[in-house]
A and B are shown apart, each in its own frame.
Chain A
């Protein structure tokens, strides 16, 4: 009765070739070796769909909306073929008691095995009364649900770092998932919201390997948060040339000059927008003329105005403490330093091809 994924795909007319291609794409995107694509294909093809519980706390539903924009895999592809999304308030048919029953049944029958996704921060003020579901505080629900989870995905900047509710003066005492849960593997997927394919890519990695991908010091998957927006920005040549847009529709803006002077936070923001782009590769904030807000960094809401130019060299860490000089002069030095680094990154970034998988 319990069909495997590959059977189910076959019944739906999805070929083995198309499926392998998807796995290869994911592996390549996450900078994994070609063999990983094959492992992904094998793991996903045999699995009963793992149970996923998604809890919404102090959130705006932007993270849920974002995952519905994922082109590959699509949300319907995920739900039908990859995961069993057993609790998701925005999408689920049941409400009230029936929804609660579904949650409890899932927690019980998949104890120790389900993946918990959380979006939104958790308020600790007023005994948790600032955010309740079914009369229970978020902190209470999180603790109970986390105890039976195999791992936790903190989806979006609020769950990862506290996000906008935690912005000064943090009126409700909002905290992140990792502030409260200390005994489970947690991956942060920040962004306001996160990039859809980053959300689904991390899930696919977990489903394949049964473990979270390699994380950086801020709990983010290195595959997507390993480089700054600035390092991969297509406008970087203009930064290096010292060509900056001064307003949002001057000649420089129309020519795609660098947005550094209009407050772009790309130099201090680690995310994949510049490479993966948004909405099926249509555009991304800088390509559509607005500086990066820095939305995948902790406490970016309190980093000063979005329109105030950074007053430091693009990446002081990489320069090894070089003197802080803003603007073009520093940019040249940074760019030289980064070109070296980029070459190394490129060499280690193997691309898995379809041919590799079908060997």
Chain B
């Protein structure tokens, strides 16, 4: 029997960035209050001020190396949107949009698979239990749920041997001091062994599928982008020159985006679809079947927001997006509320519980174009035991839509697709609920969030083939354009312009807001997915999505072993470096540093 207490989990591991959760539990271990705090800040938006807007993507991209391309895309889109608002004829070549779609979808599928196997799985999968599995029975289990080729008894025996050797050596490394044997683990040994095998397979798979980013963007993590299109020219016609030079290198063409590169992209798309269909989807369903109690826990806010993405007729035609834009309130899928991006009263950020200061008082919310913020750390001096949650307690702000807290991410997007009537999304959701034999309400839960991420991966992996086919058809028809050089030079820009770059990142709706004066950045604001989800309470005391989810039906078996907290927090796939951001419009004196 425990007593009421405050549980602190810091660091929350298996996430991107620095996140701290403080929770109050009652005598039964039930979480009554939860507080989410981002504990690291870099000030990238301050750093962006005064710079060339065409450079901004590279800085913004370093907000996060996990969802490594999304801030780059949002950033170039913000500059392009500013140009488009000022000069309506400004547009992007169709090939650039197709290549961006392929890169975005590849990011989602890669990121979601890595999240499931390498960040989330150890919440559900007991690695030590896998040692007790019968490889033959594991093989039967695997073959019963999937046609994946790596499913022989020998294959699982080899994996088990590898793990056994590792454990017997007595150096457990990243698996040390974890929660193995905790009663919350429910999988039989065979399912654990299968999941451990796929943990390793997914590591090898992810290394190969990022080659798509390497072809189009030169490398991964942190592929390259360019305002006005994509950087890599299409090089399928041969160099045709004379003498020494790349055009003569063993039949290869001049850029990576040649016929060999395009074939690599085609192979990656197939590898992505195969892994999602044969491993990720069946594993999710198999594991979820043992954890149905998590379908009535971690419900969260019930409000969902998506900016939408993956255009088929250009980024300025949101009706053509595969993922729709809009807001769902109170789980009511019969209505998608429109978002007015420029309405000052719709998207706002609050700092009542964040370590920032507003000139007009901390109770108001500010629209990102008018984002006015100043670093204002008022927390305890480190080292500290607890944060003062009645006051400011996070480096994350609290974004709101019309004053309401919103959940963003795969669940929001899948719901938006269902609400919009997307046939495949409806079928997949229906099939999942039927397979697991759970009601529609199960979607609004820790388990629902995790399952939505899997379903979305299937939707996006399947869509990639269509964009690739279109790209090839364009190339065949002689359209090689990938870049719009009109208005490349900032001296051709209007003196003042502003724009917003929107996209759906793996973790949810992302928006970069840029104000440009005389060709330089005068204000830059990133309102990012994990800020919506992980942000602290607002001026009205409304919790953010993490906080609300943890406050729904969580009883901790042992407050010193916070596996319940990890499950629900990981179901959001936190990305905290993304979520923390700062601007400093007055440019007042910043920190002075002296090195001894």
Contact = CB atoms under 8 A, between A and B. Distances in A.
Interface of A: 1-3, 8, 11-13, 48-49, 51, 56-66, 68-71, 74-76, 79-80, 83-86, 88-99, 101-102, 105, 123-137, 140, 163-165, 167-175, 179-180, 192-193, 234-235, 237-238, 245, 247-250, 253-257, 273, 278-280, 282-290, 293, 301, 305-307
A131 B41 contact: yes
Contacts of B208: 280
Contact of A58 (B40, B237, B239): B40
A123 B488 CA distance: 36
Contact of A94 (B161, B177, B592): B177
B311 to A, nearest CB: 20
Interface stretch (B251-259, B364-372, B509-517, B524-532): B251-259
Contacts of A94: 13, 176-179
Given A69-B207, A163-B62, 7 more contacts: A60-B62, A61-B65, A95-B12, A140-B383, A288-B255, A290-B226, A307-B55
B289 interface: no
B242 to A, nearest CB: 11
A23 B8 CA distance: 45
A41 to B, nearest CB: 19
Given A3-B169, A94-B179, A305-B55, A132 B18 contact: yes
A131 B20 CA distance: 12
Interface stretch (B25-33, B476-484, B493-501): B476-484
Contact of A130 (B40, B122, B169, B213): B40
A91 to B, nearest CB: 5
Interface string B567-584: 000000000010000101
Interface stretch (B216-224, B279-287, B342-350, B426-434): B216-224
Given A65-B65, A131-B39, A164-B42, A76 B200 contact: yes
A249 B591 CA distance: 43
Contact of A170 (B9, B52, B234, B591): B591
Contact of A282 (B62, B214, B228, B590): B214
Contacts of A256: 235, 239, 245-247, 253-255
Contacts of B18: 56, 131-133
A101 B177 CA distance: 8
Contact of A129 (B217, B240, B377): B377
| Residue with the greatest number of chain A CB neighbours at <10 A, chosen from B13, B384, B560, B590 | B13
A288 B39 contact: no
B278 interface: no
B118 interface: yes
Contact of B247 (A172, A193, A248, A255): A255
Identify the 4 closest CB pairs spanning chains A and B, nearest first. Answer: A62-B65, A256-B254, A171-B43, A125-B591
B245 A237 contact: yes
B195 to A, nearest CB: 13
B66 A61 contact: yes
30 contacts: A60-B62, A62-B66, A69-B206, A69-B220, A76-B204, A84-B173, A95-B9, A96-B10, A97-B9, A97-B560, A101-B177, A105-B177, A127-B381, A132-B39, A132-B40, A140-B383, A164-B59, A170-B47, A175-B595, A193-B65, A193-B221, A248-B485, A253-B255, A254-B233, A254-B480, A255-B241, A278-B220, A280-B211, A305-B55, A306-B54
Contacts, number: 383
B41 A12 contact: no
Interface string B188-228: 00000000000010011011101101111111111110101
B43 A80 contact: no
B229 interface: yes
Interface in B49-83: 51-52, 54-55, 58-59, 62-66, 68
A301 B555 CA distance: 48
B58 A306 contact: yes
B487 interface: no
B76 to A, nearest CB: 12
Contacts of A8: 165, 169
A90 B10 contact: no
A278 B219 contact: yes
A178 B233 CA distance: 40
Contacts of B200: 76
B221 A62 contact: yes
B181 interface: no
Decide if the interface of chain B is mainly helix, strand, loop or mixed. Answer: loop
A123 B41 CA distance: 9
A273 B218 CA distance: 10
Most buried by A among B16, B43, B244, B253: B43
A3 to B, nearest CB: 6
A12 B255 contact: no
A249 B52 contact: no
A168 B47 contact: yes
A93 B249 contact: no
Interface in B350-384: 375, 377, 379, 381-384
Contacts of B219: 273, 278-279, 283-285, 288
Interface in B544-596: 560-562, 566, 577, 582, 584, 587, 590-593, 595
B214 A249 contact: no
A123 B237 CA distance: 51
Contacts of B62: 60, 62, 163-164, 192
A209 to B, nearest CB: 21
Contacts of A56: 18
B176 A126 contact: no
Contacts of A288: 214-219, 223-224, 231-232, 255-257
A173 B593 contact: yes
Given A94-B178, A135-B10, A247 B485 contact: yes
A137 B41 CA distance: 12
B264 interface: yes
Contacts of A293: 58, 224
Contacts of B379: 129
B203 A76 contact: yes
A165 B244 contact: no
Given A173-B591, A256-B239, A98 B177 contact: yes
Nearest to B50: A168
A146 to B, nearest CB: 15
B466 interface: no
A193 B582 CA distance: 23
A105 B176 CA distance: 10
B171 interface: yes
A279 B166 contact: no
A249 B206 contact: no
A88 B233 contact: no
Given A2-B170, A65-B66, A289-B232, A171 B381 contact: no
A170 B166 contact: no
B64 A69 contact: no
A255 B177 contact: no
Given A69-B207, A289-B231, A127 B66 contact: no
A131 B224 CA distance: 28
B158 A92 contact: no
B6 interface: no
Contact of B122 (A83, A89, A93, A124): A93
B44 interface: yes
B175 interface: yes
Contacts of A128: 382
